[in-house]
Amino acid sequence: MRHCKGTSNNSGLVAAIVFLLGMGTLLPWNFFITAMNYFTRRLNGKSSTNGTEQKDLDPYMFNNLSVLLAQLPLLLFTFLNSFMYQHIAEKVRIAGSMVFILLLFILTASLVKVEMTQDHFFSITMTTIWFINMFGAVLQSSLFGLVGKLPPRYNSLFMSGQAVAGIFSGIAMLLSNILETDIESSALGYFITPCVATLLTLCCYLILPHLGFARLYLESGPTDEADTRKEPLTNKGDSESCNKLDVHKQEPTEEKSTVPQVFQKIWVMASCVTCVFAITLSVFPAITVNTEPKGFFKGKEKIFVPLCSFIVFNVMDWIGRSLTSRIQWPSKQSWLFPLFVLLRVVFIPALMLCNVQPRIYLPVLFNHDMAYLVFMSLFAMTSGYFACLSMSYATQLVKPKDAETAGALMTFFLALGLSLGAAVSFVLKKII
């Protein structure tokens, strides 16, 4: 294979691109939801008496509807992509989704300075939320399938990039609160940043197929005798691996397994990733965002939520995902893996019993900020670790030719976990 020469020289560049692709899948939506103050200010009615601003009204139920309209297309289109990806070219799905996401954020940014009725603004915003998550679902599902063809450590890098996207949005929220910038200026920053990030992600994707190391895996035919995805190539093993791939290129290739056949092999990992995100989204951020400081951060409400909820969660989530490149325990065959995933449910009551306000039924057992920070750190790190390990194990349980199908299926179950968690969060908020 001509492109095998020097493939190890650009493996680092491939790793950087995969990381940026992961960051690019979630950074736009993370910045969108960071601008919730802007949306609620434009949509919520306000009344004032004697110059005193009264409590916001919510005639549009924006927070609830935005969550619903984000999860429905995410779930629907990751499911459809699991079956339709073989019939639509990869470049159309990935590059096309990025272009439409870019256009939607340009539209959203332009509306910041446009005066319109609340009804019209609400309709446009709800439509934008639907389409951003629709294209985001196709993009994320397709990229998971693409990265699934590479060695397992690249899956970890991709998911680490997703976690870093959350860190950036948390820092943006923190700086906005500290600097006390006006809501319109903050919103412009929140919407222009994803435009730049999406352009960068698109460039990275277009570069990837031209790198020899990436082509070695993305273009090679399926092989049953040797799974070349298990380890990245080294200088010593380049020629041997290339020769193997050349031999298999000349042999007749088997057809890809059907979606049900692939699911039979990965159903445990699919269940685990659903459980991980269902537990995580049931309390974060719907409940944790209402935690009030009492201790180190008392009187510093403006920095407590962005720092102790969003930044701490995303940093620890990133650490957990990054650990999987060095530690893979329990193994994919071990019964301990699903058991530990299920045990994460203890974080739900632990975080609910922190100083979440307002509350009616449950007492506050963990009043100090330190307890909240410890729970949040462990909660986030285990979320990132088990989510990333589930995604990585799934592609290892199937043959190389089925890695893309496995990646697409796992993305659907990831979205299913997000949707279940979001639904459960409404119930949990009622019983606090």
Domains in the chain: ranges and CATH:
2-46+59-431 (1.20.1250.20)
pLDDT of residue 125: 92
Between 221 and 281, where is the model more confident? Answer: 281
* Candidate from 103-112, 232-241, 288-297, 349-358 with smallest mean pLDDT: 232-241
pLDDT at 2 over 80: no
pLDDT of residue 149: 86
pLDDT of residue 314: 92
Q: Please, are residues 166 and 313 in contact by the beta-carbon 8 Å criterion?
A: yes
pLDDT at 335 over 90: yes
pLDDT at 232 over 60: no
Task: pLDDT band for 59, please (50, 70, 90 cuts).
Answer: low
192 CB contacts (<8 Å, ≥6 apart)? 105, 109
Which of 101, 113, 111, 119 lies closest to 24 in space, CA to CA? 101
Strands (E), 236-320: none
24 CB contacts (<8 Å, ≥6 apart)? 98, 161, 165, 197, 198, 200, 201, 204
* CA-only gyration radius of the chain, Å: 23
* Candidate from 2-6, 158-162, 310-314, 400-404 with smallest mean pLDDT: 2-6
Write out the two tokens for 192: 């222009």
Which of 352, 354, 348, 351 lies closest to 367 in space, CA to CA? 354
Task: Name the residue type at position 375.
Answer: F
Between 219 and 31, where is the model more confident? Answer: 31
Q: What is the mean pLDDT of residues 15-19?
A: 94
The top-scoring range by mean pLDDT among 58-62, 63-67, 284-288, 413-417 is 413-417
Q: What is the mean pLDDT of residues 372-395?
A: 95
Residue 369 CB burial class (10 angstroms; 0-12, 13-18, ≥19): buried
pLDDT of residue 7: 53
Between 298 and 159, where is the model more confident? Answer: 159
Ramachandran sector of residue 61 (left: φ over 0; alpha: ψ -120 to 50; beta: rest): left
pLDDT at 122 over 60: yes
pLDDT of residue 3: 47
Q: What is the mean pLDDT of residues 145-152?
A: 86
Between 295 and 249, where is the model more confident? Answer: 295
pLDDT of residue 267: 96
What residues pair up with 48 in beta bridges, in sequence order? Answer: 53
Write out the two tokens for 86: 């073989």
What residues pair up with 53 in beta bridges, in sequence order? Answer: 48
pLDDT at 241 over 60: no
pLDDT of residue 404: 83
Write out the two tokens for 174: 């923190």
Q: Percent of the chain, pLDDT > 90?
A: 45
pLDDT at 270 over 70: yes
| Long-range contacts of 350-353, Cβ-Cβ distance < 8 Å, separation of 24 or more | 350/375, 350/379, 351/283, 351/284, 351/287, 351/288, 351/291, 351/375, 351/376, 351/379, 352/283, 352/287, 352/428, 352/432
CA atoms within 13 A on the CB side of 328: 16
pLDDT of residue 58: 57
344-380 per-position pLDDT tens digit: 999 999 999 999 988 889 999 998 899 999 999 999 9
pLDDT of residue 8: 55
**320: three-class secondary structure by DSSP:** helix
Q: What is the mean pLDDT of residues 71-89?
A: 84
Between 325 and 57, where is the model more confident? Answer: 325
pLDDT of residue 256: 80
pLDDT of residue 340: 97
pLDDT at 251 over 50: no
Q: Please, are residues 239 and 380 in contact by the beta-carbon 8 Å criterion?
A: no
Q: What are phi and psi of 53, to 5 degrees?
A: -75, 130
Q: What is the mean pLDDT of residues 184-211?
A: 92
* Candidate from 33-42, 189-198, 348-357, 368-377 with smallest mean pLDDT: 33-42
What's the rounded Cα separation, in Å, for the pair 410 and 406?
6
